[in-house]
Amino acid sequence: MPREKTAPDNLDQRIEEEEGLIGASSGEAEDDEDEILAEAVEEEDAEPEAGPLQRGREVIREFVKLAPESPGCYRMLDTSGAVLYVGKAKNIRKRVTSYTRPEGHSRRITRMIAATVSMELVTTSTETEALLLEANLIKRFRPYYNVLLRDDKSFPYILLTAGHPAPAIAKHRGARNRPGDFFGPFASAGSVNRTITALERAFFLRSCSDSVYESRTRPCLLFQIKRCSAPCTGEIALDEYNRMVGEARDFLSGKSTAVKDHLVRDMQTASEALDYEKAAVLRDRLAALSAIQSHQGVHPRNTEEADVFAAYQHGGITCVQSFFVRGFQNWGNRAHFPRADKSLGIEEILGPFLAQFYADKAIPKLILLSHRPEEYDLLVEALSEKAGRRIEIAVPQRGEKSELIAHALQNAREALERRLAESSSQLRLLKSLAETFGLPATPKRIEVYDNSHIMGTNAVGAMIVAGPEGFAKNQYRKFNIKSPDTKTGDDTGMMREVLKRRFKRLLDENPREQQNENAETAGETPWPDLVIVDGGLPQLNAAREAMAEAGVSDVPLLAVAKGLDRDAGRELFHIAGREPFRLPPRDPVLYFVERLRDEAHRFAIGSHRARRSKDIGSTGLQEIPGVGPSRKRALLHHFGTLQAIEQASLSDLESVPGIDSRLAKAVYDYFHAGG
């Protein structure tokens, strides 16, 4: 019987209910990996057998009998309860009925029907609400047969804080619930950091937290290098400081020409008054503002606020390039590679892409597109309803806006060409890796494990994932070592615990036999094709024991031991049933495995340091031998924050009153050891 639900009073409530409806499948959705290149999965184009296809149609026919003739969303589920596809319709019964027809379906839809064993339906008040709900459900469940926005990270903003006598400038990501003025979005953290650095040089704004500001008794290093005016210690009057904050606000709001003209006039006045020192400061401020704009690329003259999207297709892959224009300034661009069936055209991809993109982001007044998406009118209505104001979506053909589209389209083409080149190289490396280590097939998912600790404290295990498209950072996992059976400092015991926990959970959530049954329709499996552990024969044996205890015996294992004197290029490889061996110094496979090992090492150390810093924050710096309450106060008084102490050089630590060279080295070693 269909599990039908009536529409709640508001969309947010409906989304919350829907996200809780199939909680059991969300774990699998979280672990879903990016789709590999179309060239590597040609076997998916095979038509399903008549039996499963007929069974799928019969299942759908049963649900049609009770399907409502109203707007809403429907979900198709496989044998494990995982969501295969999320769709929306103006008339659910009419739309679902179309899947029972024997002909007229693409191979993608045919495979989906064959894998369907159940359905779930939910009604909405309007088709517009159904579109918004569909986008949220796709983001939640990540169905294999939908167009999926994979790299959907939040965008950073610049924040000028409010509620303080001396406002600060800061990078902000997430909900904009802090008091102050937000400027953005910026395409990347790098573009925000560059802009903030330039704004500090141009307007001498502070970037420290309010607590650090209140604790300062002398100017910090940023004042010495002319990136802060040090209002914390009275080096500048608050009225003058707030005047520069206002100039920075005007610049970020799009009044850059007026701000620069004002600085030019002040510089000329200072020069005529023979105040060359002040003129030089103003000159440097102008140079900093010019540096900001030089990184922005194209500058729109008549477009105050718009998001620009241009899509380019080649080789079965689509790249959507996004640009963000705010205050007549371009705040950077980002390339997106939505997962979509290679049979879908750009017009079919852009609509779902935009609905998912704006599911949790602010919507500008104007959206410029390179192609007119399917269901254009419905998309405009849905985004306008979500934004609470009329939204314009345009496909410009001439003028400045068409130039913005052309620029974005060129970037999309170049980004896709780079992606294809990198993926092709990655596939060749994976094939060589399989040949070198005698793997049964080219690996599509490689998991690499490493541990990090200091004398057994704050021990962390780390797993990174790599595949045909490089590192899959959304698949990384860290494991806090917590078993009482794992002895302090026992590297092999830590490795055993990590792998045992990993594969036990994998078996619980994704049984291997179930994966084999649904190999053609389930998409990428979370099961690895190769496991690499950092270490030698002891680590290899520990990994084999852990996986055997979990009931896993068919996943290839490789241990990578550091070379003599820990030299890169002289690694010793251990594989069960083979003598240890080395690869030639310039072998590309050796470089590839080193890169995997180094990435796992980097992630493990970063996770360890984060946990250690958290522990220090709760237990105090007294955890460091020789640091008591008075020396802790001296360090915090001098540096302001724990992060600043962690980043301080040895000479900086030695300059703290009451901290001698021996204790400074102990503090420095505590924060910089690990591996």
Inter-residue contact 336 to 353 (CB < 8 Å): yes
Task: Using alpha carbons, list the distances in angstroms from residue 504 to 76, 512, 549.
Answer: 28, 11, 9
User: What is the rounded average pLDDT of the residues 24-52?
Assistant: 43
pLDDT of residue 621: 64
User: What is the rounded average pLDDT of the residues 277-296?
Assistant: 71
User: Considering the domain 620-672, what is its CATH architecture?
Assistant: Orthogonal Bundle (1.10)
Both tokens of 465, joined, read: 């994932």
User: What is the rounded average pLDDT of the residues 489-504?
Assistant: 86
β-partners of residue 320 are 311, 336
Mean pLDDT, rounded, of the chain: 81
Q: Give this prediction's pTM.
A: 0.67
Pick the range with the lowest mean pLDDT from 461-465, 562-566, 663-667.
562-566
pLDDT of residue 521: 38
Q: What is the pLDDT of residues 65-89, one digit of tens each?
A: 889 999 999 999 998 888 999 999 9
More confident residue, 574 or 488: 574
pLDDT of residue 570: 78
Q: How many CB atoms lie within 10 A of CB 4?
A: 17
Q: How many CB atoms lie within 10 A of CB 546?
A: 22
Q: What residues contact 320, with CB distance under 8 A and at least 6 apart?
A: 309, 310, 311, 335, 336, 337, 338, 349, 350, 353, 412
For the chain, how many residues are written? 675
CATH class of the region 3-141: alpha beta
pLDDT of residue 250: 85
Domain boundaries, the chain: 3-141, 157-294, 305-418, 446-610, 620-672
Task: Using alpha carbons, list the distances in angstroms from residue 201 to 265, 269, 332, 535.
Answer: 19, 21, 20, 47
User: Would you give the DSSP letter of residue 112?
Assistant: H
Sheet holding 169-172, edge to edge: 169-172, 157-161, 180-183
Alpha carbon distance 324, 340 (integer Å): 24
User: What is the rounded average pLDDT of the residues 532-544?
Assistant: 91
- Mapping DSSP onto H, E and C, the string for 562-603 reads CCHHHCCCCCEEECCCCCCECCCCCCHHHHHHHHHHHHHHHH
Query: Do 305-418 and 446-610 agree at the fold level?
Result: yes
Q: Domain 446-610, CATH 2.60.40.10 — does that match?
A: no
Q: What is the pLDDT of residues 198-218, one digit of tens each?
A: 888 888 899 998 888 988 888
Inter-residue contact 452 to 608 (CB < 8 Å): yes
pLDDT of residue 95: 93
Q: Which of 520, 560, 521, 564 is nearest to 543 (CA)?
A: 560
User: Considering the domain 305-418, what is its CATH architecture?
Assistant: 2-Layer Sandwich (3.30)
Buried (b) or exposed (e) across 658-673, using 16+ Cβ within 10 A? ebeeebbebbbebbee
pLDDT of residue 226: 86
pLDDT band (50, 70, 90) for residue 90: very high
pLDDT of residue 331: 81
Amino acid at 577: G
Pick the range with the lowest mean pLDDT from 334-348, 364-378, 396-410, 566-580.
566-580
Inter-residue contact 192 to 331 (CB < 8 Å): no
Highest mean pLDDT among 123-137, 441-455, 463-477: 123-137
pLDDT of residue 31: 36
Provide the 3-class DSSP secondary structure of residue 313: strand
pLDDT band (50, 70, 90) for residue 641: low
33: pLDDT strictly greater than 50? no
pLDDT of residue 26: 33
